C-alpha cells in the first residue's frame, strides 16, 4: 500500500483582514486578483462595481491603492509582479464609508471632512484657508488638483462603500434622501476633475442610477454585469481547489459548493469569501454571511409588497429594473439582487434589452431567507424554529397524517389579531407562501411550478427518500375537493414513478374565512 501523501502546509485564514499589506505580511492565504485589477486599469479610467456586503470589495480597493502607490514588494510572486510598471506612482485618495452608521447630514459631512483630512495628511498637502470649512465638494476638488500638481502624476480616487450612509437609513426615506444629496454633491466633483485624474473606482452594495447619484458623470462605466469582471470579487471553484487545498480534507467538497457557491454576474460563478473563510475556521456548515446582517428591512418590504415567496427563486427581471434603485423607487427585485439574496440564473437577449431569470445563489441564502420570512409570517421567531424542527422529523418518518396536523396546528396558533393587523395574510398567495417557506427553510430540493406534460405541479419536494407532490387551492375561489383530484386527473405523479421512492400526492385546501386548512387529502403511491 503506497504511503499517504503528506498534508499540504496550511496558512493563516485572513478572516476580517481587508488590507493587502497585512494579509501578505502575516502569510495568509491570498486569492490573487492583481492580474484582473490590472486588466481593469488598462481598459479604462472610471469604474463602478456593485457587490454584496462582505464580498472582498475593501480588499480589492486596497489592492488598487497598493498598485498605484508602487508598493511592489507586496506583489512578489503574484500576477502583477511582472505586469506593472513599478517606477510610476500616483497619489491615491481613498474615501471609505464602511465604518459605523451615520444618522444625519451633519454626521455625513463630518465623516467626509475626516476622510479628506486623513488623505491630506497622508499626501502631505495643506488645506487652503480660503475654502469654506463646510464645503466638502470644493475641498475634494482642491485635494485632487493639489495631489496632481505637487506629485507630477494624476491622482487616483477610490471610494469604498460609497452608498452605505444611504442604505443605513432606508427605513427613514427623508433622512436617506438627505444622505443621497450629500453624497451626490461630493461625487459631482469627479466630472470636473477629469484633467487631474488617472483612475476612479467606486464600489458598494447598491446601484443607484446616474441621475440620482452620479448626475453628469457620464464617463463612469458600470461593470457590475460585465461578464469579464464577474470574478473580480469572490472565490472561484478553481481558487477553492488550489489556494485553499490544505483546508479541504475532512470537508465534503460538494457540500461546500452547495452551501456557498453560486453568485453570478453573467460570468464565472463565485463563492462568498466570508462564508468560505469561516467554514475553514469553524469546520462546520453554517449561514455565516446571512447571520452578519439579517435583512429585516428587506423582509418587511417583501411582506408589505405581498411578494409570493415561491416566485423568489425564479423572478424574471430586465437589466433596467435591476439597475433601478433609489430612495423613492425601491423595487424588491432590485434590492434582492443587489444585496446578494438573488443572483443571475439565466440570461435572455431580446431586441433592445436583456432579461434575467434570478435564482437563489445557494443553500445558505435560500434556507436562511425563507426562515426569516417564515418568522415574519408567524410573528413569533421561537415558534418558527420549533415548527421547522418538527417538520423535518415528520418528513423523516414519512408520516403524511402528521404533516396535516403540523400545519393545521400552525395556522390555528396564529392569533386572530395578527391576521387582522398584518397585510401579509390579506392576499391569496399567503397560504402557499407559508407552506413553501417551511420546506425552503430546511434547504430541501423544491420544484415550484414543476412542469409535466399535462400541466404544472404547484410544488414538489424531494426529501427523506420520498417525493411529496402538493397542489394548493383556496375554497372561496375553487370548489372544495379539487386539489387532489387535479393531481390525479393530470397524472402529476407519473413524472416521479420511476425513482423507486414512495410518491405522496397531497391536495391542500385553505379557507380565508376559517384561516386554516379545511381540506388535506392524501394518496401514497408505492415506489
**Overall average pLDDT of the 55-80 stretch:** 97
Q: Which helix (H) or strand (E) holds 238?
A: helix 237-242
| pLDDT of res. 424 | 62
How would you class 112 by CB atoms within 10 Å of its CB: exposed for 0-12, middle for 13-18, buried for 19 or more? buried
| Cβ contact 342:315 at 8 Å | yes
pLDDT of residue 252: 98
> Whole-angstrom distance between the N-terminal and C-terminal Cα of the chain?
43
pLDDT of residue 183: 94
Per-residue confidence band for 5, with pLDDT thresholds at 50, 70 and 90:
low
Is the pLDDT higher at 322 or at 421? 322
C-alpha cell at 396: 423523516
For residues 500-521, average pLDDT: 91
pLDDT at 427: 64
Mean pLDDT value across residues 49-60: 96
Q: DSSP character for 447?
A: E
Bridge-partner residues for 503, per DSSP? 467, 525
Residue 33 has pLDDT above 90, yes or no: yes
Confidence (pLDDT) at 425: 62
Q: What percent of the chain has pLDDT over 70?
A: 95
pLDDT higher than threshold 90 for residue 309? no
Mean pLDDT, the chain, integer: 90
Grid coordinates representing 179 are 444622505
Q: Is the pLDDT of residue 428 over 70?
A: no
- pLDDT top residue among 514 and 256: 256
Give the pLDDT band (50/70/90) at residue 423.
low
pLDDT at 184 over 80: yes
- Asked if residue 410 has pLDDT above 90, the reply is no
Beta bridge partners of 94: 158
**Distance (Å, rounded) from C-alpha 265 to C-alpha 342?**
11
**If you write DSSP's letter for every residue of 276-343 in order, what string do you get?**
HHHHHHH-S---HHHHTS--HHHHHHHHHTT--GGGGGG-EEEHHHHT-EETTEE-HHHHHHHHTSSE
pLDDT, tens only, 85-118 = 999 999 999 999 999 899 999 999 999 999 999 9
> In this structure, are residues 512 and 476 in contact, taking their beta carbons and an 8 Å threshold?
yes
Handedness of CA 260, 263, 268, 272 (dihedral sign): negative
Dist. CA 187–CA 141, nearest whole Å? 10
Q: 209 and 325 in contact (C-beta within 8 Å)?
A: yes
Strand order in the sheet with 92-96: 92-96, 155-160, 197-204, 46-50, 221-222
Partners of 347 in beta bridges:
356
Q: Look at residue 1 and tell me whether its pLDDT is greater than 80.
A: no
Cα-based torsion angle of the residue sequence 448, 449, 452, 454 in order, rounded to the nearest 10 degrees: 150
Residue 267: pLDDT over 90? yes
The CA-CA-CA angle for residues 408, 409, 410, to 5°, reads 90
The residue ranking higher by pLDDT, 363 or 4, is 363
Instruction: Provide the pLDDT confidence category of residue 327 given band limits of 50, 70 and 90.
Output: confident
- What band does 298 get if pLDDT is binned at 50, 70 and 90? confident
* Average confidence (pLDDT) over 251-259: 97
Give me 524's grid cell. 401514497
Residues 457-494: tens digit of each pLDDT: 999 999 999 999 999 998 888 888 889 999 999 999 99
Domains, the chain, with CATH or none: 32-226 (3.40.50), 397-525 (3.40.1350)
What value does the mean pLDDT take over residues 213-233? 90
Cell numbers at 508, concatenated:
391542500
Q: Which residues, at least 6 apart from 73, have a Cβ–Cβ distance to it below 8 Å? A: none
Confidence of residue 415 (pLDDT cuts 50, 70, 90): confident
Residues with Cβ within 8 Å of 263's Cβ and at least 6 positions away in sequence, in order, are 52, 55, 234, 269, 270, 271, 272, 340, 343, 361, 362
Using 50, 70 and 90 to split pLDDT, how confident is the model at 250? very high
| Per-residue confidence (pLDDT) for residue 4, from 0 to 100 | 52
DSSP letter string, 173-191 = HHHHHHHHHHHHHHHTHHH
Please say whether the beta carbons of 464 and 396 come within 8 A: yes
**56 and 40 in contact (C-beta within 8 Å)?**
no
Answer whether 198's CB lies under 8 Å from 90's CB.
yes
Split at pLDDT 50, 70, 90, the class of 417 is low
pLDDT of 420 reads 67
What confidence score (pLDDT) does residue 358 get? 94
Please tell me the distance from the alpha carbon of residue 502 to that of residue 513, in angstroms, as a whole number: 34
Per-residue confidence (pLDDT) for residue 152, from 0 to 100: 96
Q: What is the pLDDT of residues 112-169, one digit of tens each?
A: 999 999 999 999 999 988 888 889 999 999 999 999 999 999 999 999 999 999 999 9
pLDDT, tens digit (0-9, with 9 covering 90-100), for 339-390? 999 999 999 988 888 899 999 999 999 999 999 888 887 766 677 778 888 9
pLDDT at 23 over 90: yes
State residue 434's pLDDT score: 85
E runs forming strands in 368-525: 445-452, 455-463, 466-474, 503-511, 516-525
Does the structure show a pLDDT above 70 at 211?
A: no
Which pLDDT band, with edges at 50, 70 and 90, does 185 fall under? very high
Cell representation of residue 171: 427605513
Amino acid at each position: 500500500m503506497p504511503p499517504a501523501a503528506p498534508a499540504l502546509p496550511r496558512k493563516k485564514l485572513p478572516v476580517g483582514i481587508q488590507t493587502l499589506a497585512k494579509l501578505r505580511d502575516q502569510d495568509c492565504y491570498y486569492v490573487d486578483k492583481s492580474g484582473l485589477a490590472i486588466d481593469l486599469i488598462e481598459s479604462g479610467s472610471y469604474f463602478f462595481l456593485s457587490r454584496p456586503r462582505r464580498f472582498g470589495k475593501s480588499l480589492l480597493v486596497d489592492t488598487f491603492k497598493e498598485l498605484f502607490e508602487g508598493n511592489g514588494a507586496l506583489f512578489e510572486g503574484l500576477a502583477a509582479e511582472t505586469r506593472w510598471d513599478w517606477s510610476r506612482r500616483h497619489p491615491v485618495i481613498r474615501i471609505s464609508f464602511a465604518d459605523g452608521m451615520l444618522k444625519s447630514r451633519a454626521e455625513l459631512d463630518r465623516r467626509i471632512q475626516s476622510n479628506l483630512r486623513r488623505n491630506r495628511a497622508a499626501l502631505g498637502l495643506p488645506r487652503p484657508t480660503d475654502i469654506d470649512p463646510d464645503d466638502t465638494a470644493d475641498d475634494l476638488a482642491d485635494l485632487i488638483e493639489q495631489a496632481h500638481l505637487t506629485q507630477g502624476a494624476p491622482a487616483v480616487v477610490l471610494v469604498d462603500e460609497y452608498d452605505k450612509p444611504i442604505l443605513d437609513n432606508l427605513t427613514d426615506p427623508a433622512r436617506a434622501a438627505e444622505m443621497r444629496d450629500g453624497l451626490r454633491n461630493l461625487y459631482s466633483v469627479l466630472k470636473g476633475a477629469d484633467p487631474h485624474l488617472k483612475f476612479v473606482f467606486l464600489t458598494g452594495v447598491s446601484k443607484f442610477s446616474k441621475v440620482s447619484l452620479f448626475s453628469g458623470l457620464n464617463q463612469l462605466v458600470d461593470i457590475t454585469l460585465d461578464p469579464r469582471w464577474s470574478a473580480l470579487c469572490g472565490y472561484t471553484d478553481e481558487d477553492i481547489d488550489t489556494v485553499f487545498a490544505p483546508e479541504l480534507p475532512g470537508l465534503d467538497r460538494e457540500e461546500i459548493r452547495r452551501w456557498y457557491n453560486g453568485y453570478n454576474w453573467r460570468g464565472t460563478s463565485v463563492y462568498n469569501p466570508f462564508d468560505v473563510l469561516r467554514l475553514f475556521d469553524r469546520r462546520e456548515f453554517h449561514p455565516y454571511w446571512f447571520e452578519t446582517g439579517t435583512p429585516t428591512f428587506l423582509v418587511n418590504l417583501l411582506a408589505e409588497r405581498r411578494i409570493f415567496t415561491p416566485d423568489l427563486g425564479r423572478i424574471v427581471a430586465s437589466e433596467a429594473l435591476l439597475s433601478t434603485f433609489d430612495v423613492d423607487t425601491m423595487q424588491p427585485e432590485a434590492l434582492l439582487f443587489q444585496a446578494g439574496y438573488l443572483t443571475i440564473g439565466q440570461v435572455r437577449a431580446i431586441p433592445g434589452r436583456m432579461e434575467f431569470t434570478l435564482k437563489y445563489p445557494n443553500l445558505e441564502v435560500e434556507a436562511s431567507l425563507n426562515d426569516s420570512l417564515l418568522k415574519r409570517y408567524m410573528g413569533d421567531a421561537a415558534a418558527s424554529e420549533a415548527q421547522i424542527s418538527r417538520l423535518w422529523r415528520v418528513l423523516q418518518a414519512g408520516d403524511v397524517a402528521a404533516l396535516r396536523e403540523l400545519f393545521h396546528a400552525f395556522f390555528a396558533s396564529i392569533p386572530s389579531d395578527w391576521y387582522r393587523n398584518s397585510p401579509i395574510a390579506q392576499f391569496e398567495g399567503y397560504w402557499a407562501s407559508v407552506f413553501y417557506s417551511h420546506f425552503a427553510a430546511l434547504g430541501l430540493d423544491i420544484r415550484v411550478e414543476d412542469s409535466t406534460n399535462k400541466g404544472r405541479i404547484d410544488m414538489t419536494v424531494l426529501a427523506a427518500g420520498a417525493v411529496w407532490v402538493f397542489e394548493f387551492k383556496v375554497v372561496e375561489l375553487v370548489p372544495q375537493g379539487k386539489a387532489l383530484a387535479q393531481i390525479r386527473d393530470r397524472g402529476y405523479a407519473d413524472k416521479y414513478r420511476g425513482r423507486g421512492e414512495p410518491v405522496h400526492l397531497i391536495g391542500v385546501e385553505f379557507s380565508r374565512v376559517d384561516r386554516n386548512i379545511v381540506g388535506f387529502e392524501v394518496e401514497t403511491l408505492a415506489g
